[in-house]
Amino acid sequence: MVDDGQDRGWPLERYREYLHLLARLQLDTRLRSKLDSSDIVQQTLLRAYQGLDAFHGRSVTELVAWLRTILAHTVANELWRFRRGKRDVALERSIEAAVEDSSARLEAWLAADYSSPSEQAAWQEQSLRLAQALAELPPEQREIIELHHLNGLTLADIADQLGRTRPAVAGLLRRGLGRLRALLGDCQ
């Protein structure tokens, strides 16, 4: 039987799509063919399950921060394996900062001002719903939304990066955002 953390009140599996979103944001498009974000998330959750006894946080916010740290270390380890070089602490710190930056962009996009515990819980739930809804989009639409809204790239930069025209990128973005709104509306 797999321990999913539920007996300790932490159902880690519900964070899979959120972690997957953050992992996709960390992998440069050139590395995505060599490093699979699904594998990274699987390793992250496995490490979290294995270390759950050592986690002493009391809030969902602390749990999510802990999961982001594990994700950052997992990405760094995979990049190290990919490069077959020595471990680079600066690289690990920069990846950890990048994961935090991606999370901050996600927070800004959701435009949540959460200072109370109930507002933090609502933000966490909203982040999970967004990650799940993004996972349900066609891959091209999801990628463009992530590149534009979560990585901060312009439509011209996305078009250059993906080898598409700006109108094609704009159309995919418009359709993706429409579908995303519909999916998020269905979740309410």
Structural contact between residues 187 and 62, judged by C-beta atoms closer than 8 angstroms: no
Question: What residue segments make up the domains of the chain, in order of their start?
Answer: 6-136, 138-188
pLDDT single digits (tens) 42-93 = 999 999 999 988 888 888 888 888 998 898 888 878 777 766 655 555 544 5
Task: Kindly tell me the sign of the dihedral angle through the C-alpha atoms of 115, 119, 125, 131.
Answer: negative
Answering whether pTM is above 0.95, one says no
The fold of 138-188 is Arc Repressor Mutant, subunit A (1.10.10)
More confident residue, 51 or 6: 51
Taking residues 167-184, what's their average pLDDT? 94
Q: Which two tokens stand for residue 104?
A: 């901050």
Express as a percent the part of the chain with pLDDT over 70. 67
In this prediction, residue 142 carries a pLDDT of 92
Distance CA(125)–CA(45), nearest Å, equals 18
* 188 vs 142, residue with greater confidence: 142
**Three-state SS across 72-123?**
HHHHHHHHHHHHCCCCCHHHHHHHHHHHHHHHHHHHHHHCCCCCCHHHHHHH
pLDDT value at position 97?
54
Nearest to 130 by CA among 171, 183, 170: 183
